Amino acid sequence: MTSPTLEVTALCKSFGSVRANHDVTFSVDAGELLCLFGENGAGKSTLSACLTGLYRPDSGEIALEGTPLRLSSAADAIRHGIGLVHQHFVLVPDFTVLENIVVGSETGLFVDFASAEARLRQICESYGIDIDPNARVEDLSVGEQQWAELLKALYFDAKLLILDEPTATLDVEGSKKLFRIIDKLKADGVAIILITHFLEEVMQADRVAVLRQGAVVGIKKTAETSPEELTRMMVGRDLKRQTRQSTPMGTARLALESVTVEGLGERPDLDDISFCVHEGEIFGIAGVAGNGQRPLMEVIAGVRKPKSGIISLDDTVISSKGVHAIKSMGLGHIPEDRFAEGLVRDFSIEENLILGEHRGTFAKGGLLDFRKMAQNAKRLIAEFSIAAPSGETLVGNLSGGNAQRVILAREMQLASKVLLANQPTRGLDVGVIDYIHQCLFNKKAEGVAVVIASSELEDLIALCDRIGVLFQGRLMGIVDARKTNLEEIGLLMAGHALETAV
């Protein structure tokens, strides 16, 4: 009988008193797609790190094609045919795509770049990946960087490929393309482990291993289960989808009048944008990634300045004010990239929770008030259910969901009038998503004007009162979320303007 490509038996891994993986047992066959499904902090990333040589398990066995492995490094895993596509890109911005793949990976003193480029181009053609091997990573879009990460794994003929949240930065067409590539890899006999929070992607796997609190609580064939059952296994309870709450809207709180923001080329990042958001309203921003969502959030928050136009908060013009001044007026901002823009990885939870306030509320005699910081962190860790040993834990050691809760805790306190949330649920499990949606509804009930940009159109329709759609930096129309549908929003996203706006 043929051995599975990967067989994991009773794997355990702890960090001090924190048990990340406990008695994990599962297998993956050649040509099979297995999904690891679990909440943020359930142990998925730790498990993948053990399988790829980044961590050494405390106990248990990892076998590849029937042969036990003791991996000493990521390079060791690559030599054995185990590839990992990281959730957070591991690419050198100043290097080309080709250099990122071969430098430090090829054996010998010299690298045959001509042969390596020819091989990489052949892989791109075989899998339909349109990317220039000689392009610098810093010049690539986020989606193209995701393809570069995948190429790193494909280049070394992986027997086992682990994909950690591979579609988090891809649009709908990019995600479809990835699953076509996965189908080809399966046909070629590659064993694949997929880590994802998107239920529609989970259901495309052959089997699903559900993790909860570091342990496998069940393995199901997707043909014999449902999204509802898998979610219940993951969180240990039934989840009810959050939907729009009927609360009266007040006067206009946030207003943009003919706002234009310059871009790098001839086309502006935002072109003559006008809309307002009322007290107690959730206003959604839809659009294909890269059509102005980030510039819109940043110009409202004061990170960028408009070329022309006026932005006002409660009738006070804020267009020329700085970030700190705008925040002090009651604006909270949840940025798109939680680690690059919202947190300092090497700072503790305590320190990250006071960013922007370290010279004010949490200063005493020109120095940080550590006692006050600790009290603040203790209160917010409890209030926002942040899973961490203490407030002194480095944010870089947190799961994506708990890291996002740190940002929520900080920005929700600031958002007494306006809350900006750019892709706040990206890469998070349904339990954390449910929690974030409830936080948005709480702010709505307090009379806060909430602006949320999301690639999840069904969520926008369920959460928002109105939805504005961006295309190439222009506002194509504003629709009533109670009366619109996916088809209408899709047409707007493709550049078809509405004749009338709400």
Tokens of 355: 């960013």
214 and 266 share one domain: no
Note the pLDDT of residue 502: 47
451 and 489 share one domain: yes
The last residue of one of the domains, among 137, 156, 175, is 156
Start-end of H helices in 107-254: 113-127, 142-155, 172-187, 199-202, 227-235
Q: What is the dihedral of CA 412, 270, 282, 426, to 10 degrees?
A: -60
Whether 142 maps to a domain, the answer reads yes
DSSP string, 70-107: ---SHHHHHHTTEEEE-SS----TTSBHHHHHHTTTSS
Whether 477 maps to a domain, the answer reads yes
- Tens of pLDDT, residue by residue, the chain (502 residues): 688 999 999 999 998 877 899 999 999 999 999 999 998 778 898 999 999 999 999 999 999 999 999 999 988 998 999 999 887 778 888 999 999 888 756 555 677 889 989 999 999 999 999 999 999 998 887 778 888 989 988 898 899 999 988 887 777 788 888 999 999 999 999 999 999 888 889 999 999 999 998 999 999 999 999 998 998 898 877 666 666 666 677 899 999 999 999 998 889 999 999 999 999 999 999 998 889 999 999 999 999 999 999 999 999 999 999 999 999 999 999 999 888 899 999 999 999 999 988 777 788 877 888 999 999 999 999 999 898 889 999 999 888 888 999 999 999 999 999 999 999 988 777 778 888 999 999 999 999 999 999 988 888 998 999 999 999 999 999 999 999 998 899 899 989 877 644 4
128 and 267 share one domain: no
151 and 161 share one domain: no
Helix (H) or strand (E) holding 282: strand 282-286
Q: Which domain holds residue 111?
A: 91-156
Tokens of 205: 């796997």
Number of domains in the chain: 3
286 and 425 share one domain: yes
Work out the number of other CB atoms within 10 angstroms of the CB of residue 109.
Answer: 5
> How far, in Å, CA of 233 to CA of 37, rounded?
10
> How far, in Å, CA of 69 to CA of 61, rounded?
7
Count Cα atoms within 13 angstroms, Cβ side, for 50.
28
170 and 217 share one domain: yes
Q: Which among 55, 33, 38 has a CA at the least distance from the CA of 46?
A: 55
The last residue of one of the domains, among 106, 130, 156, is 156
Three-class DSSP category at 321? coil
Q: Which among 160, 210, 167, 211 has a CA at the least distance from the CA of 186?
A: 160
Tokens of 55: 């961590």
370 and 451 share one domain: yes
48 and 144 share one domain: no
Residue 501 neighbours by CB under 8 Å, 6+ apart: 477, 478
Secondary structure of 133-154 as H, E, C letters: CCCEHHHCCHHHHHHHHHHHHH
Whether 500 maps to a domain, the answer reads no
- Please report, for the domain that includes residue 442, its CATH number: 3.40.50.300
Whether 247 maps to a domain, the answer reads no
Helix (H) or strand (E) holding 376: helix 370-383
The last residue of one of the domains, among 129, 156, 183, is 156
Whether 86 maps to a domain, the answer reads no
Start-end of H helices in 384-424: 400-414
